[in-house]
């Protein structure tokens, strides 16, 4: 069974606790308590308290329990400001607010040390004819969004713009009822560093649960999130499309994406210990320069369990469990100009080719070059029959010590001339 995010394993909570203490201490100036007045005039009260914190150079605004209806967008542009709920406090878009609920920073100028905690953000999409995000991050350094409920968003719940961002933590939040994306990292200019998306729960959204594209971010951790795509109404579970570096995606549970559950393009990428259930497309689809795809469990897939696009280099696919998928268990897509160069080691692949028996294989290489296929176990049971256990076409691959049974063809391999193949076993 896949182990979900564990603080003893990843040690993120200790780091985050330290960061949160530093954040709270940094914002520990005067505390302003505000209460709702029950009309669309709540904007003035809250913004005035935020402005006082900015004038002081630090401070905390505490929202007393109730519903705060806004007729204008709140802004945090200063440094060392905390906006927190002192109970069940809701910031709700008024019917005339076709804008964000809250905007952080300015174009070209970061808001530094900002803490949002325990607030309910209600996008009120049923009464909106337009509008943007719940939280719009123009530019931020040391931002923590913690233990918030974000619901009924007309578009995205949280979105960052194309500026340089540093140290953004989005953790322990619940997202529901998004018309587009719960988290949309639309921008991070070159120089952006440290994005942590930890332990969030998401359901009832469209587009993708976590969407990072385009974003020039380094040091990205996406750990322990639960994404329920609601009977394939969401296009992707997670989509990370461009130029992210030093990435760890681990301990996440993704269910029922319409297309790929997890799509990643990047450098130094580690996709480890994720549970992916019932995607309409591939379980994992990746184009990676250096990384590991390891110990993931992928079940009931609409297409391939794991698919590597052209241009993957230095990738190890190890210890994954893939079972009951419609096409190939692991598919290495290659061409003559961008060959896959990777190791596929110790994976358990069971009952692929569900869509068309006798058509797809446990492991499939188009034109593999310099790939090592070692110690995999490929099984077809019952009426399921793979075309081949391993179908490889190449001249410099090492295909060693794999075992398989229950395939249409007696050979475990269809080997290209010059491949080095030994110690493989296969039965019909």
329 shares a domain with 218: no
User: Rounded to an integer, what distance in angstroms lies between the CA atom of residue 200 and that of residue 53?
Assistant: 29
Burial of 423 from C-beta contacts in 10 A (0-12 / 13-18 / 19+): exposed
Answer yes or no: is pLDDT of 251 > 70. yes
Strand extents, DSSP E, 14-165: 31-34, 59-63, 66-70, 74-76, 81-85, 89-93, 102-104, 111-117, 120-122, 135-137, 140-146, 149-151, 158-160
CATH of the domain at 163: 2.160.20.10
Paired strand residues for 307? 285, 331
pLDDT digits (tens, 9 = 90+) for 205-232: 988 999 998 777 889 999 999 999 876 5
Q: Are 301 and 330 in contact (CB under 8 A)?
A: no
* Count of domains forming the chain: 2
87 shares a domain with 3: yes
| Residue of 60, 39, 38 whose CA lies nearest to 49 | 60
Query: pLDDT at position 7, please?
Result: 34
pLDDT-derived band of residue 123, with 50, 70 and 90 as boundaries?
very high
Mean pLDDT of 183-205: 87
Tell me whether residue 291 is in a domain. Answer: no
User: Rounded to an integer, what distance in angstroms lies between the CA atom of residue 306 and that of residue 286?
Assistant: 8
Q: Are 113 and 90 in contact (CB under 8 A)?
A: no
Tell me whether residue 277 is in a domain. Answer: no
Straight-line distance from the first to the last Cα atom of the chain, in angstroms, rounded to the nearest whole number: 29
Mean pLDDT of 367-372: 69
64 shares a domain with 191: yes
- Average predicted confidence (pLDDT) for the chain: 84
132 shares a domain with 11: yes
217, 233, 249: which is the final residue of a domain? 233
Mean pLDDT of 52-61: 94
pLDDT-derived band of residue 6, with 50, 70 and 90 as boundaries?
very low
Tell me whether residue 252 is in a domain. Answer: no
312 shares a domain with 168: no
* Lowest-pLDDT range of 142-146, 260-264, 373-377: 373-377
| Residue of 202, 214, 199 whose CA lies nearest to 144 | 199
428 shares a domain with 314: yes
User: Rounded to an integer, what distance in angstroms lies between the CA atom of residue 324 and that of residue 303?
Assistant: 10
- Distances in whole angstroms, Cα of residue 129 to Cα of each of 71, 154, 179: 14, 9, 13
* DSSP track, 276-323: EE--SS-SEEEEEEEEEEES-EEEEESS-SEEE-TT-EEEEEES-EEE
pLDDT-derived band of residue 411, with 50, 70 and 90 as boundaries?
very low
Q: Which two tokens mark 87?
A: 């109970």
pLDDT digits (tens, 9 = 90+) for 280-335: 999 999 988 899 999 999 999 999 999 998 777 889 999 999 999 999 999 988 65
pLDDT digits (tens, 9 = 90+) for 348-369: 998 888 877 777 888 888 765 6
User: Rounded to an integer, what distance in angstroms lies between the CA atom of residue 125 and that of residue 394?
Assistant: 54
Tell me whether residue 358 is in a domain. Answer: yes
Question: Phi first, then psi: what are they for 185, rounded to 5°?
Answer: -90, 85
Query: pLDDT at position 336, please?
Result: 55
pLDDT digits (tens, 9 = 90+) for 70-120: 989 999 999 999 999 999 999 999 888 889 999 999 988 999 999 999 999
User: Rounded to an integer, what distance in angstroms lies between the CA atom of residue 27 and that of residue 82?
Assistant: 6
Enclosing domain of residue 425: 301-428
Query: pLDDT at position 183, please?
Result: 96
183 shares a domain with 61: yes
Question: Phi first, then psi: what are they for 244, rounded to 5°?
Answer: -100, 140
């Amino acid at each position: 069974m896949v182990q979900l995010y564990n603080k003893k394993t990843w040690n993120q909570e200790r780091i985050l606790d330290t960061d949160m203490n530093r954040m709270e201490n940094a914002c520990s100036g005067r505390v302003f308590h505000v209460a709702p007045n029950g009309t669309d005039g709540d904007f003035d009260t809250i913004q005035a308290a935020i402005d006082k914190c900015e004038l002081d150079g630090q401070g905390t605004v505490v929202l007393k329990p109730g519903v705060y209806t806004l007729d204008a967008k709140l802004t945090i542009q200063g440094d060392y400001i905390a906006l927190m709920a002192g109970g069940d406090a809701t910031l709700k878009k008024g019917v005339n607010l076709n804008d964000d609920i809250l905007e952080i920073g300015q174009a070209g100028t970061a808001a530094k040390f900002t803490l949002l905690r325990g607030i309910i953000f209600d996008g009120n999409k049923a009464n909106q004819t337009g509008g943007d995000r719940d939280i719009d991050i123009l530019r931020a350094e040391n931002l923590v969004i913690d233990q918030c409920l974000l619901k009924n968003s007309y578009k995205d719940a949280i979105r960052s713009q194309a500026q340089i961002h540093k140290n953004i933590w989005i953790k322990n939040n619940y997202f529901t009822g998004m018309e587009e994306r719960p988290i949309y990292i639309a921008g991070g200019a070159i120089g952006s560093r440290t994005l942590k998306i930890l332990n969030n729960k998401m359901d009832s959204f469209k587009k993708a649960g976590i969407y990072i594209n385009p974003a020039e971010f380094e040091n990205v951790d996406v750990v322990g999130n639960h994404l329920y795509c609601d009977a394939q109404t969401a296009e992707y579970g997670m989509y990370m499309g461009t130029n992210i570096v030093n990435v760890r995606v681990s301990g996440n549970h993704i269910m029922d994406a319409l297309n790929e559950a997890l799509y990643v393009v990047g450098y130094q990428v580690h996709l480890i210990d994720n549970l992916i259930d019932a995607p309409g497309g591939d379980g994992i689809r990746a184009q990676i320069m250096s990384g590991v795809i390891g110990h993931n469990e992928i079940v009931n897939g609409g297409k391939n369990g794991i698919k590597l696009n052209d241009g993957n280099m230095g990738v190890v696919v190890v210890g994954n469990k893939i079972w009951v998928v419609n096409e190939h268990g692991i598919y290495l897509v290659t061409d003559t100009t961008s060959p896959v160069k990777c190791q596929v080691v110790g994976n358990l692949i069971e009952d692929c080719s569900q869509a068309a028996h006798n058509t797809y294989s446990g492991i499939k290489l188009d034109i593999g070059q310099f790939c090592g296929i070692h110690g995999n176990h490929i099984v077809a049971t019952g009426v399921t029959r793979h075309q081949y256990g391993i179908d490889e076409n190449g001249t410099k691959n090492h295909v060693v010590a794999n075992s398989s049974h229950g395939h249409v063809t007696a050979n475990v391999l269809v080997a290209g001339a010059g491949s080095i193949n030994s110690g493989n076993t296969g039965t019909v």
